Amino acid sequence: MNPKTLSLTSSFTPIHHLPHKKPISKTHKLHPGRVKPICKSQPDIDISVSVPGSQGTGAAAPTRGDIFLEKQQQIQSLVVEKKTKKIKKKELVKSVKSVTGSGGGYCCYGCGAPLQVVELDAPGYVDPDTYQLKKKHRQLKTVLCGRCRLLSHGHMVTAVGGNGGYAGGKQFVTAEELREKLTHLRHEKALIVKLVDIVDFNGSFLAHVRDLAGANPIILVVTKVDLLPKGTDFNCVGDWVVDATMRKKLNVLSVHLTSSKSLVGIAGVVSEIQKEKKGRDVYILGAANVGKSAFINAALKMLSYKDPVAAMARKYKPIQSAVPGTTVGPIQINAFLGGGKVYDTPGVHLHHRQAAVVHSQDLPALAPRSRLRGQSFTKEVVLDQWVTEKMEFDGLTGFSIFWGGLARIDILKALPETCLTFYGPKALKLHIVPTNKADEFYKKEVGVLLTPPSSGEQVPDWTGLETVRQLQIRFDDTQRPACDVAISGLGWITVEPVSQSLKELDSSLVDDAMEISLDVHVPKPVEIFVRPPLPVGKVGGEWYQYRDLTEKEEETRPKWYF
């Protein structure tokens, strides 16, 4: 039987009426210029249409039905392709999430956050395609998350809720969660390397470190000693640190004064770690922003000279930044040729430090960048600045000193020759005004002259200096400072009854007043410490007195190294 001649319009022919017994192909030619597509949704029906040539005219021209059918087929193919891509994307995200969400996944080598592909703004986020590619080539240990990439380029990305001016959210970890990651240390046999910042010694010491370290031995590393004033006698500083440490009653093996920037003292710490680790893992512990990541990088540099394993570990070292909470999970580092690992741990966030109350953009201002220089306030300074005012001067009494917008010191009672010397970051400027004008001055200049807090949206939300601590400082020697007033996360103020520049003083003045009274104003959670004066500068070595030790103290007292 001869096949039917097809018209320009569509005709439907049941498949069993066709003379061919072989399966019909998708494009079965019936006539030159004509094809017969088969509809997938209806396999038993053959749809044949006349497809005109591009130059067809007259009777060969395409009808409206032909054009409509062709467009619908193109749209349907695009829809199917788009759905296929979505399904593949969902399957990829699901497969990655199943690995990372189970706790058995890999972590970012820069911050220790578990790798994830769900929360774009959260720590550990990696593009799903990148994750799958690295997983295929078994290179997940070399992945740096998106947040770490921003931090490495100077962006201030806070990840800890309640710090840096953020209340928190689903993309944030909490300070309690970070501390919880360290509680297992007290149940393990480990060597603890505890770091403390010399510029904020009391604020960064971790008063409850025994709750984290347990009975494990501790090597105490004092960081950033290169920031101390020029001419400082480190013999005096080392003795001062050991005395302060002995009061904490910790199992301290030794004390090391170090600088990760200049590598001073790092070799001694590395040698002590290799001597004392005895097959145990080493955990680097300390408050947030105390310099743990910088110390690890410096230690790896020292080890890499002789240890190829440490040299390899330097390629994927932890990220350093001024943001508290840069490290959000333990980072395992293979640093020793003979076995044993080093762990960079999340910084312990302390609510009583200034970093917990300022906005993230102001965090760099709290970190000293260069050697500290004490700025002293004496009677002569007051006279120079307020000589045009019609008021009587009795030294510093009756004046208030603002330390940026973060602290205010009211001098209620002092000797005429009393001197207050401020040691802290240069970015925070000091201003002195009469106490009766201090409230008005602060209200007018906060965010302008008194920064941080910086001007902008954060100033209206700034709660101000809500905490006031009254200090009664007694002294019995005018030849040395009475004490230091340390403000957590900021610096310290050395209180000298008599300026060191004066050689002699009328003894009758001392007999009249053996006490200095100060009111210190700070933001609500910030703590204030009164401590023995830290001997810094050339004069520190002159007035510092070494304490006489008993034989028992000589035996139990840890040695210090520089």
CATH of the domain at 230: 3.40.50.300
- How many structural domains comprise the chain? 3
With bands split at pLDDT 50, 70 and 90, how would you rate the model's confidence at 390? Answer: low
Compute the average pLDDT of residues 45-49.
40
Spatial distance between the Cα atoms of 319 and 305, rounded to a whole number of angstroms: 22
- Is 207 found in the same domain as 147? no
Q: Which pLDDT band, with edges at 50, 70 and 90, does 64 fall under?
A: low
Question: Is the same domain home to 448 and 505?
Answer: yes
Residue at a domain's end among 299, 324, 353: 353
Regarding whether 148 and 264 lie in a shared domain, the answer is no
**Residue 22's CB: how many other CB atoms inside 10 A?**
5
Check whether residue 305 and residue 451 sit in a common domain: no
* 251 shares its domain with 190: yes
Which domain-ending residue is among 325, 353, 381?
353
Does one domain contain both 518 and 492?
yes
Above 80 in pLDDT, residue 292?
A: yes
Residue range of the domain that includes 122 = 104-155
pLDDT at 164 over 50: no
Q: What is the pLDDT of residue 95?
A: 52
Q: pTM here?
A: 0.74
> Which stretches of 198-292 are assigned E, i.e. beta strand?
218-223, 252-257, 281-286
Residue 319 shares a structural domain with residue 456: no
pLDDT of res. 444: 93
Cβ–Cβ contacts within 10 Å for residue 209, how many?
A: 20
The last residue of a domain, from among 286, 318, 353 = 353
Say if residue 133's pLDDT is above 70: yes
In a shared domain, residues 325 and 463: no
Which stretches of 310-404 are assigned E, i.e. beta strand? Answer: 331-333, 342-344, 375-377, 399-403
Nearest to 379 by CA among 417, 413, 414: 417
Helix (H, G, I), strand (E, B) or coil at 65: helix
Mean pLDDT: which of 119-133, 402-416, 449-463 is highest? Answer: 402-416
User: Is pLDDT of 391 > 50?
Assistant: yes
Query: Does residue 477 lie in a domain region?
Result: yes
Q: Are 20 and 30 in contact (CB under 8 A)?
A: no
Q: What is the mean pLDDT of residues 400-414?
A: 96
Asked whether residue 43 is domain-assigned, the answer is no
Which phi and psi angles does 542 have, rounded to 5°? -80, -40
Whether 50 maps to a domain, the answer reads: no
Q: Looking at the domain assignment, is residue 543 inside a domain?
A: no
Distances (CA, A) of 393 to 214, 417, 500: 54, 12, 21
pLDDT in tens, 337-363: 666 688 888 888 788 899 888 887 888
Examine the domain organization and report whether 270 and 188 are in the same domain: yes
**Are 338 and 442 in a shared domain?**
no
Q: Per residue in 497-542, pLDDT tens?
A: 998 765 455 555 555 558 999 999 999 989 999 999 999 999 999 9
pLDDT at 14 (0 to 100): 44
Asked whether residue 429 is domain-assigned, the answer is yes
In a domain, 26, yes or no: no
Whether the per-residue pLDDT at 286 is higher than 80: the answer is: yes
Residue 411 included in any domain: yes
- Residue 123 · residue 144 · CB < 8 Å: no
In a domain, 541, yes or no: no
Residues 377, 512, single domain; the answer is yes
In sequence order, which ranges of 55-102 are alpha helices (DSSP H)?
64-100
Q: Cβ(525)–Cβ(421) under 8 Å?
A: no
Same domain, yes or no, for 322 and 439?
no
